[in-house]
C-alpha cells in the first residue's frame, strides 16, 4: 500500500489590502457585536484615503474601499477574524493558520 504525505502552503498576497468591509462587518455581527460597536468599526474602516510621496512629490489622495489599516492594533485582529472560518472549508487534512499564512497537511493511502 502506497502512502502519500503532503502539505499545501498558502500565503495570501496583500491579505490586509483585500478584505471586503461588508463581509467583515457581517462576520463580526455573527459573533454578537452590538450595533454601536459595529458602527464604530464600520467608521474605522470606511472613508479612509491614502497617498504616497517620493522626492518631495505627493500623489493624489485615493479612497480606500477594501482592506484594514496596516500598522494599527486592530488590523491583524480584523484580518484574522475575516479568514478564521477557512479551515471549515478545507475538506482534506488539518488546516493551520498564522496571520495570512495557511498550511494544510494531508495523508492519502
What band does 106 get if pLDDT is binned at 50, 70 and 90? low
Average pLDDT (14-29) is 86
Question: Phi first, then psi: what are they for 4, rounded to 5°?
Answer: -115, 125
Q: 34 φ, ψ to 5°?
A: -70, 160
- Note the pLDDT tens digit of each residue in 92-103: 667 666 655 555
| pLDDT tens sequence across 37-89 | 999 999 988 888 888 899 989 999 988 888 888 778 888 888 888 888 877 77
Q: How many CA atoms lie within 13 A of 88 on its CB side?
A: 4
| Residue 109 pLDDT > 50 | no
All cell numbers assigned to 96: 493551520
**C-alpha–C-alpha distance, residues 71 and 93, integer Å:** 33
**What number of H helices and E strands is found in the chain?**
3, 7
Residue 104 has pLDDT above 60, yes or no: no
Amino acid at each position: 500500500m502506497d502512502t502519500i504525505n503532503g502539505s499545501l502552503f498558502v500565503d495570501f498576497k496583500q491579505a490586509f489590502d483585500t478584505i471586503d468591509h461588508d463581509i467583515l462587518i457581517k462576520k463580526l455581527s455573527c459573533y454578537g457585536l452590538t450595533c454601536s460597536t459595529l458602527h464604530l468599526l464600520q467608521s474605522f474602516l470606511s472613508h479612509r484615503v491614502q497617498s504616497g510621496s517620493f522626492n518631495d512629490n505627493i500623489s493624489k489622495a485615493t479612497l480606500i474601499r477594501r482592506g484594514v489599516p496596516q500598522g494599527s492594533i486592530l488590523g491583524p485582529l480584523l484580518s484574522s477574524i475575516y479568514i478564521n472560518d477557512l479551515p471549515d472549508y478545507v475538506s482534506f487534512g488539518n488546516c493551520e493558520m498564522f496571520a495570512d499564512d495557511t498550511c494544510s497537511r494531508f495523508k492519502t493511502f
